[in-house]
Amino acid sequence: MMLRTPISRTLTRTGTLLSKPQASMLLQRPTRQFSLQPPLHYEGVNKDLRSMKHQKPWLQALRERDEALAAATAASTSIAPAQTPGGPAVVEIKPKRMKESYFEIILPLSKDEWLVDTYVNASGQLRMGTLFQDLDALAGVISYKHTGPGPTVVTAAVDRISIISPLSHFCDLRLSGFVSYVGKSSMEVSIEVRKMGELRQREKPLLLTCAFTMVALDPVSKKATPISPLIVEIEEEKRIFARGEAYKKTKATLASTALTKSTPNDAESDLIHSLWLRNTLYNPHTNPPP
């Protein structure tokens, strides 16, 4: 049973009794809600990246697509993929250069303390999860610069994350990247984060590098759709493209030999057996009989 305290006997934090008018004014005062957590965003916290990723609200795009399909069905004609609002099913395959997809954005962390609140954790350090939300959104912007607005681009994986020089103090950060490798329907987006402004002694400007694997899907069939190949001209571009191709082959090999698809080989079986024997030395319940 909940007990109600009379307004006339309301106490302050110091234990002082309040009069009835004072208590009434206190109860009528508007309350403010506080939270230690920053507002959640699912496609990057930076407003510039969010505004660039979508040209229209998702529900509006779905509505336009459904209306176009309904009109086509009523007319008993098939709509050409390029006429479908919300993205053509067939994309114009036009070779593009790496520099055409390059994009960068600056996070002015040294000039905006309220912006820093979004990227700081409880210990006052950079919140890497929030930064990677921005990097994911950046990879999406770069991917659409390569594919155009037709297909739906989704993030398949992010790997090869290398933190070169951790952030010792909050400074402006430059997030940049470009499409470094293209397969049939997937592409690799190489991204780096660099510190800007004056650096401390022995501090390196490169904060981290990573690679996003993005896949282009047909917006109607939801299946993978071909994308524009890359034009590789100079030696540096050839080296970058070859590196992406080698990583793709390595990941395919690892996926084909995963334990979910194949049994352990002889070397792996020997390793498992040796680990089990070592465990029996410390666990008497599994100690094999002599």
Average pLDDT over residues 240-267: 88
Q: pLDDT-derived band of residue 284, with 50, 70 and 90 as boundaries?
A: low
Half-sphere exposure of 167 (CA within 13 A, CB side): 25
Indicate the pLDDT class of residue 198, thresholds 50, 70 and 90: confident
Model confidence pLDDT, tens digit, residues 113-122: 888 999 998 8
Mean pLDDT check: name the lowest of 46-60, 104-118, 187-201, 219-233: 46-60
Please give the Cα distance from 86 to 115 (Å, whole number): 33
Q: In which residue are the tokens 């930076």 written? A: 46
What is the rounded average pLDDT of the residues 266-281? 89
Q: pLDDT value at position 258?
A: 81
Domain 47-60+81-231 sits in CATH at: 3.10.129.10
Q: Are 123 and 30 in contact (CB under 8 A)?
A: no
Rounded CA gap, 195 and 208, in Å?
A: 10
Average pLDDT, the chain: 80
Give me the mean pLDDT over the 161-174 stretch: 91
**Which of 166, 221, 156 is closest to 189 using CA atoms?**
156
**Structure-token pair, residue 288:** 């094999």
Pairing of strands 103-107, 173-182: antiparallel
* Bridge partner list, 193: 175, 208
Q: Evaluate if residue 190 carries a pLDDT over 70.
A: yes
pLDDT at 214 over 80: yes
Is-contact 212 158, C-beta < 8 A?
yes
- Position 17 confidence tier, pLDDT thresholds 50, 70, 90: low
Q: What is the pLDDT of residue 70?
A: 79
pTM over 0.85: no
Of 109-123, 151-165, 255-269, the range with the lowest mean pLDDT is 255-269
Angle, CA 242 vertex, CA 239 and CA 243 arms, to 5°: 85
pLDDT interval class at 256 (50, 70, 90): confident
pLDDT at 27: 52
From start to end of the chain, where are the E strands? 96-97, 103-107, 152-163, 173-182, 186-195, 206-217, 230-231
Tell me which of 267 and 25 has the higher pLDDT.
267
Radius of gyration in angstroms for the set of CA atoms belonging to the chain, rounded to a whole number: 28
How much is the average pLDDT of 145-152?
A: 91
Average pLDDT over residues 156-161: 92
* Residue whose tokens read 């660039």: 52
| C-alpha–C-alpha distance, residues 207 and 135, integer Å | 13
Between 82 and 141, where is the model more confident? 141
- Least confident residue range of 23-37, 59-73, 195-209: 23-37
Does pLDDT of 238 surpass 80? Answer: yes
Residue 48, classified by CB atoms within 10 Å of its CB into exposed (0-12), middle (13-18) or buried (19+), is: middle
Q: Tell me what percent of the residues of the chain surpass a pLDDT of 70.
A: 72
- Alpha helices, DSSP H, located in 84-167: 113-119, 128-147
Q: What average pLDDT score do residues 133-145 get?
A: 95
Average pLDDT over residues 201-221: 90
Least confident range of 30-34, 113-117, 248-252: 30-34
Which residues have a Cβ under 8 Å from the Cβ of 272 and sit 6 or more positions away? 264
